[in-house]
Amino acid sequence: MLYKTDIAVLGGGAAGLCAAVQMKQLNPRFSVTVFEQLDRVGKKLSTTGNGRCNITNNDLSPARFHGKDPKFSQPLLQKYGGKETADFFESIGILFQFDETGRGYPASLQASSVVDALRFSAEENGVRLKTGCRVENLIPQSGGFVLTLPDEKCFARAVLVTTGLYSGGDKVGSDGKMFRFFKQMGYPTEPVTPAIVQLKTPPESVRALKGVKINGRATLLRNGKALRTESGEILFCDYGLSGPPILQLARPVEREKGNYSIELDLLPAYSEQEIRAILQNRVKQLGNRPAGEFFTGLLQKRVGQVLIKSVGVSFDSPSSCLDRAKLDRLCEWIKSWQFTVTGTTGFLHSQVTAGGLSTESFDANTLASKRHQGLFAAGEILDVDGDCGGFNLQWAWSSGLAAAEAVIRYLEGTVC
């Protein structure tokens, strides 16, 4: 049997769901079907932002978005920017609220409510949601495409591909099969690597600190050269380092060859000179305290003890045995503690995949394929990825809404 639809949306994730709703809002005449391989739509979306969905960010400046052609995303992020996205979500019942760092969340603080609102709106507007329905391939035909589904074929006049890439793994539908299919079809691609991901270090360098959280500053270095610095809560794990600043820094590690390290500043509020004076004072004032307690009240207890151990002083010796040379080393560690980076924890643990379908094959205003008429793509499958902080979902919304408009104009015959 041949199933027919005007528009086939491949993938019921963030970009696909908002695009499908937008298509129906723009022109209800066209039939729209979303094909989702998992048993329900929006599975990954419902896990975002630790279940709260960091849906956007106040600052959508170009520096927050990456890809081989960093300018590619700009026209779409301007056309469907913060205000247009907020208007779209308000139209389906979701209001935004922003925290002091500029991150936007649904007012409910529930990612599931974003999925529900998109799903309800899709159904209310007459979008057909076909779940448990993996699209195996698509073949261009005159006037459209034939899609191979598990039990049938489908003819669609236009196709929007929003099947994502690898981050989060199979459980959230990120198997990358459609990406590989397009690669086989001859679409040029950019190498795919995990971004927004934890960093691995030699286990012995962090083992003693497993579970410790500090508020500090982290700098990523390649071959000794500082690339980027981020501040916030840093977490020591048995495999290495995690926490928002680390996730934010990780992008280049698997992308560009080199020797990577992370340098931590444990007390960014103080200069090295100030720390030196503080430590010298402590030796004078608290010299009788056991060295194991020397940092009590200044650094996280286990961090302080690891530092004391590193200068070869036993915890029960008096702090007065910390001589000038030892204080200099402690001071250096507090301001620039270096950890060798051996890699990332991989796609499964990453929030976004850098790379994807090369943007050179797609129009920067409409996301129409330059290779196949009637084919469009949006979301993470394209070689655009954003920083941690709501930028990847914003790209899904901006690209999904723009592609939806372009598909409708294409079918209406106003754009070829």
Ligand X SMILES: Cc1cc2nc3c(=O)[nH]c(=O)nc-3n(C[C@H](O)[C@H](O)[C@H](O)COP(=O)(O)OP(=O)(O)OC[C@H]3O[C@@H](n4cnc5c(N)ncnc54)[C@H](O)[C@@H]3O)c2cc1C
Judged by CB under 6 A, the residue of 392, 401, 405, 411 near ligand X is 392
**Which one of the spans 12-20, 187-195, 238-246, 281-289 is the region binding ligand X (CB under 6 A)?**
12-20
Check residue 8 for interaction with ligand X (CB under 6 A): no
Smaller CB distance to ligand X: residue 9 or 334? Answer: 9
3-state SS track over 225-257: EEEEEEEEEEEECCCEEECHHHHHHCHHHHCCC
Q: How far is the CB of 92 from ligand X (least distance, A)?
A: 16
Of 253 and 377, the one with the shorter C-beta distance to ligand X is 377
Distance CA 348, CA 171 (A): 10
Say how far apart CA 179 and CA 163 lie, in whole Å. 8
SS3 128: strand
Looking at residues 23 to 42 of the shown chain, list those that interact with ligand X (rule: CB under 6 A): 35-38
The site map against ligand X for 112-151 (x = CB under 6 A) is ----------------------xx----------------
Asked if residue 382 lies in contact with residue 357, where contact means CB atoms within 8 angstroms, the answer is yes
For residues 40 and 18, is the Cβ–Cβ distance under 8 A? no
Nearer to ligand X, 17 or 299 (CB): 17
Pairing status of strand 375-377 against strand 352-357: unpaired
- Candidates 82, 144, 164, 243: give the one binding ligand X (CB under 6 A): 164
Measure Cα distances from 226 to 214, 222, 258, 262, 388 in Å. 21, 7, 12, 9, 19
CB atoms within 10 A of CB 112: 16
Taking CB under 6 A as the criterion, the residue among 72, 145, 391, 410 binding ligand X is 391
- Residue of 26, 27, 29, 23 whose CA lies nearest to 8: 23
For residues 341 and 200, is the Cβ–Cβ distance under 8 A? yes
**Widest CA span of the chain, in angstroms?**
86
What does the block give as tokens for 1? 């049997």
Does residue 383 touch ligand X according to CB under 6 A? no
Segment near ligand X (CB under 6 A), from 75-83, 249-257, 288-296, 388-396?
388-396
Q: Which residues contact 154 (CB under 8 A, 6 or more apart)?
A: 2, 3, 4, 5, 8, 33, 35, 146, 147
Asked if residue 10 binds ligand X (CB under 6 A), the reply is yes
Q: How many residues does the chain have?
A: 416
Tell me which of 12, 82, 243, 252 binds ligand X, using CB under 6 A. Answer: 12
Q: Which of residues 312-371 bind ligand X (CB under 6 A)?
A: 351-352
Q: Which residue from 168, 194, 292, 356 is in contact with ligand X, where contact means CB under 6 A?
A: 168
Residues 220 and 233: beta-carbon distance below 8 Å: no
Q: Which is nearer to ligand X, 38 or 250 (CB)?
A: 38
For residue 183, state whether it binds ligand X (rule: CB under 6 A). no
Can you state the angle between helices 82-91 and 391-412, rounded to 10 degrees? 80
Binding span for ligand X by CB under 6 A among 9-17, 58-66, 210-218, 293-301 = 9-17
Q: Give the residue with the Cβ less far from ligand X, 162 or 300.
A: 162
- Which of 393, 402, 404, 406 touches ligand X (CB under 6 A)? 393
Least distance from ligand X to the Cβ atom of residue 12, Å: 5
Q: Which of 390, 405, 408, 410 binds ligand X (CB under 6 A)?
A: 390
Q: Which residues bind ligand X (CB under 6 A)?
A: 10-16, 35-38, 43-45, 47-49, 53-54, 134-135, 162-164, 167-168, 173-174, 177-178, 351-352, 379-380, 390-393, 396
